[in-house]
Amino acid sequence: MYQIYGISNCDTVKKARKHLEALEVEFEFHDFKKVPPTKALISRWTEKLGELPVNKRGRTYREVKEDFESLSASKKIEMIIEKSSLIKRPLLEKNNKPVSMGYSKDEYEQLT
């Protein structure tokens, strides 16, 4: 079963969830606003995806860019946990392994 992480009112997350439902892919949704991501989760995504899961085109990032970029790696993770809107959404996992970051119709079509 897939795990999808994001924010329930995010339009991109809504698209991704609808797409998974249309493909009849089983998934469990984790809302960052209800349960913030953990350091372990962010570290796992970073290790697998090769970068912090940050949406550098998002409004939240633009608001904190200077502060964020001046932080150490561990402090960046703390800020991501505190401001989960920084995370590029959705993040999709299967068996605790990241599958994709962000939503791509083509990537999601490959899931079946």
- 111: pLDDT confidence band, cut at 50, 70 and 90? confident
Domain spans, the chain: 2-109
For CA atoms 108, 16, 29, 101, the dihedral sign is positive
User: The whole model's pTM is what?
Assistant: 0.90
- Residues with active-site annotation: 10
Per-residue pLDDT at 112 = 64
Question: pLDDT by residue (tens digit) across 15-73?
Answer: 999 999 999 999 999 999 999 999 999 999 999 889 899 999 999 999 999 999 999 99
Q: Architecture of domain 2-109 in CATH?
A: 3-Layer(aba) Sandwich (3.40)
